[in-house]
């Protein structure tokens, strides 16, 4: 652990509990990003890209190792939302088609459902939670029929540590003709992901969160058997070829969802971040994250006026809470003044869930394997000081 912290410049500067927002990169990732930017400045961007050709290809292989997929099933795009959108907006919905989603679905995904429902007459239905606050498998099984075209679930929501029972969801969906789209934005780099075990047809993720890669890059996985059925909502000369004056051909692999222009340094940084995580071992990372988060919840639970809001049977690195009498923004601002980074999760990010629980703004403190036994009490003491002041 000291080695990993010393490899992370941010550890010397801040007490970081915002890994679910952006987890600061290790020096190894910075070196790769800076190194490529330097080459672009020295020899030209296109020439630097040619020079890095094999290393760029290796990023697809690294993503493949992370989620147990083949390189031709992967597209590298700007972020998790764009990855999700490229797949979702390629799905041909018709009036009466049903889209099933989870209570804790992410705001951008819900907005896309509403837009497509408005355009096509497809129906959006929220699968209720079970008594543990995770998606009810019983309810899902009862809702699935031949009109269900898509089941879209956030593996871990932006507003809590809940880990959805994704493999069990995948098993149910597999028995139908529906597509299972898993938003793994918060779980990539945090816990093991295997697209076959999960039974998902589409998976989306971002670089900057638990993978600790650079900002502005993310990826999309589409199962090979589905790729050619999904026509991307927009195409360019990388996604398709202009083969004659009045004809184009869309490429057969998942790179049909990409852009021609991209941040090459960020892509390379993502690849390095994945290698770094795989070297540490995703199982080992998950064990540490679960343990750190449980410690934090335990201490917060003993803090007067603090209420914890994480749901589910299995809980990961996102810890959410409120302090009676103190708005979430005031808690995060006070902590920030002490160089303790947390964030606020608001209604519009996960409206179905927040409204159902009568929550508005909640504080989000997210741990990673870098989080130490000293940092957790520092955060809790900061929260306790706010809670005492609020009473
Ligand atoms: C569950 C979930 N899905 C999707 C996203 C969007 O990711 P990005 O900002 O990379 O588009 C987030 C971001 O917080 C998220 O928490």
Q: What is the pLDDT of residues 50-106, one digit of tens each?
A: 999 999 999 999 999 999 999 999 999 999 999 999 999 999 999 999 999 999 999
Whole-number Å distance between alpha carbons of 95 and 98: 9
The residue to mutate among 112, 158, 220, 350, having the most atoms of ligand 1 within 8 angstroms of its beta carbon, is: 158
Q: Is 154 in the pocket of ligand 1 (CB under 6 A)?
A: yes
Q: How many angstroms separate the alpha carbon of residue 389 from the centre of ligand 1? A: 33
Q: What is the mean pLDDT of the segment spanning 94-119?
A: 98
Q: Which residues contact 386 (CB under 8 A, 6 or more apart)?
A: 323, 326, 330, 331, 334, 335
C-beta atoms surrounding 147 within 10 Å = 14
Q: Give the pLDDT band (50/70/90) at residue 388.
A: confident
Q: What is the pLDDT of residues 291-318, one digit of tens each?
A: 999 999 999 999 999 999 999 999 999 9
Q: How far is the CA of 47 from the centre of ligand 1 (A)?
A: 33
CB of 106 sitting under 6 A from ligand 1: yes
The 3-class SS string of the chain reads: CHHHHHCCHHHHCCEECECCCCCCCCHHHHHHHHHHHHHHHHHCHHHHHHHCHHHHHHHHHHHHHHHCCCHHHEEEECCHHHHHHHHHCCCCCCCCCEEEEECCCCHHHHHHHHHHHHHHCCEEEEECECCCCCECHHHHHHHCCCCEEEEEEECCCCCCCECCCHHHHHHHHHCCCCEEEEECCCCCCCCCCCHHHHCCCEEEEECCCCCCCCCCCEEEEECHHHHCCCCCCCCCCCCEEEEECCEEEECCCHHHHCCCCCCHHHHHHHHHHHHHHHHHCHHHHHHHHHHHHHHHHHHHHCCCCEEECCCCCCECCEEEEEECCECHHHHHHHHHHCCEECEEECHHHCHHHHHHCCCCCEEEEECCCCCCCCHHHHHHHHHHHHHHHHC
Pocket of ligand 1, candidates 21, 22, 106, 156: which has the most ligand atoms within 8 Å of its Cβ, to mutate?
Answer: 106
Residues whose CB falls within 8 Å of the CB of residue 204, separated by 6 or more in sequence, listed in order: 80, 83, 84, 87, 181, 182, 183, 184, 185, 218, 219, 220, 221
Ligand 1 atom at shortest distance from the alpha carbon of 157: 1
Kindly state if the Cβ of 79 falls inside 6 Å of ligand 1. Answer: yes
Residue whose CA is at the smallest distance from ligand 1 atom 14: 158
Q: What is the mean pLDDT of residues 239-257?
A: 98
What digits encode the pLDDT tens for the residues 126-178? 999 999 999 999 999 999 999 999 999 999 999 999 999 999 999 999 999 99
Q: What is the pLDDT of residues 338-363, one digit of tens each?
A: 999 999 999 999 999 999 999 999 99
User: pLDDT tens digit string along 172-203?
Assistant: 999 999 999 999 999 999 999 999 999 999 99
Cα first-last separation, the chain: 38
Percentage above 90 pLDDT, the chain: 98
The per-residue pLDDT for 200 is: 98
CB of 362 sitting under 6 A from ligand 1: no
Nearest CA to ligand 1 atom 15: 158
The model carries a pTM of 0.98
pLDDT of residue 391: 60
Regarding the beta carbon of 316 and ligand 1, being less than 6 Å apart is answered no
230: buried, middle or exposed (CB in 10 Å: 19+, 13-18, 0-12)? Answer: buried
Residue 162's beta-bridge partner residues?
315
Residues 6+ apart with CB under 8 A from 311: 104, 129, 132, 133, 134, 160, 161, 162
State residue 390's pLDDT score. 66
Strands 306-308, 247-250: pairing is unpaired
Distance CA 179, CA 85 (A): 14
Calculate how far, in angstroms, residue 51's C-alpha sits from the geometric centre of ligand 1: 32
pLDDT score of 387? 79
Q: What is the structure's pLDDT at 2?
A: 86
Give Cα 200 to chain centroid, integer Å: 15
Rounded to the nearest integer, the mean pLDDT of the chain is 97
How far is 275 from 271, CA to CA, in rounded Å? 6
Say yes or no: CB of residue 219 within 6 Å of ligand 1: no
Contacts 24+ apart (CB under 8 A), 226-231: 226/179, 226/201, 226/202, 227/72, 227/73, 227/252, 227/253, 227/254, 227/256, 228/252, 230/87, 230/90, 230/91, 230/257, 231/90, 231/92
Rounded distance, CA 37 to CA 48, Å?
9
Residue 42 CA to ligand 1 center (angstroms) comes to: 34
Would you state the pLDDT for residue 172? 98
With CA atoms as reference, report the closest residue to 155 among 115, 114, 236, 210. 210
Ligand 1 proximity of 186 Cβ (cutoff 6 Å): yes
Interval between CA 21 and ligand 1 midpoint (Å): 9
- Indicate if ligand 1 lies below 6 Å from the C-beta of 64: no
8 Å CB contact between 148 and 154: no
Residue 54 Cα to ligand 1 midpoint, Å, equals 29
Q: What is the pLDDT of residue 1?
A: 77
């Amino acid at each position: 652990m000291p080695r990993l912290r010393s490899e992370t410049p941010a550890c010397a500067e801040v007490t970081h509990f915002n890994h679910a927002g952006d987890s600061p990169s290790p020096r190894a990732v910075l070196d790769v990003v800076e190194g490529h930017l330097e080459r672009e400045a020295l020899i030209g961007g296109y020439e630097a890209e040619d020079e890095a050709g094999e290393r760029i290809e290796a990023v697809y292989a690294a993503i493949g190792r992370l989620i147990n997929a083949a390189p031709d099933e992967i597209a590298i795009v700007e972020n998790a939302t764009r990855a999700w959108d490229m797949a979702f907006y390629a799905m041909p919905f018709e009036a009466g088609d049903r889209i099933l989603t989870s209570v804790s679905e992410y705001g951008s995904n819900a907005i896309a459902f509403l837009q497509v429902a408005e355009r096509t007459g497809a129906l959006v239905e929220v699968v209720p939670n079970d008594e543990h606050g995770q998606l009810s498998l019983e309810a899902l099984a009862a809702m699935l029929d031949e009109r269900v075209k898509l089941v879209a679930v956030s593996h871990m929501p932006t507003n809590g540590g809940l880990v959805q029972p994704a493999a069990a969801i995948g098993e149910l969906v597999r028995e139908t003709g529906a597509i299972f789209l898993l938003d793994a934005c918060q779980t990539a780099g945090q816990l093991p992901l295997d697209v076959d075990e999960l039974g998902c047809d589409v998976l989306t993720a971002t670089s900057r969160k638990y993978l600790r890669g650079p900002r502005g890059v993310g990826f999309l996985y589409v199962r090979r058997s589905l790729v050619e059925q999904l026509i991307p909502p927009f195409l360019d000369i990388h996604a398709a070829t202009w083969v004659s004056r009045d004809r184009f051909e869309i490429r057969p692999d998942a790179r049909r969802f990409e852009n021609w222009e991209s941040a090459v340094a960020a892509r390379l940084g993502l690849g390095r971040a994945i290698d770094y995580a795989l070297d540490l071992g995703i199982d080992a990372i998950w064990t540490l994250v679960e343990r750190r988060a449980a410690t934090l919840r335990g201490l917060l639970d003993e803090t007067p006026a603090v209420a914890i809001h994480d749901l589910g049977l299995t809980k990961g690195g996102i810890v959410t809470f409120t302090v009676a009498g103190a708005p979430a923004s005031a808690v995060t601002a006070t902590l920030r003044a002490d160089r303790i980074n947390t964030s606020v999760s608001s209604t519009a990010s996960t409206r179905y869930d927040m409204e159902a629980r009568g929550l508005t703004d909640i504080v989000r403190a997210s741990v990673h394997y870098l989080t130490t036994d000293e940092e957790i009490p520092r955060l809790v003491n900061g929260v306790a000081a706010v809670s005492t002041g609020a009473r």
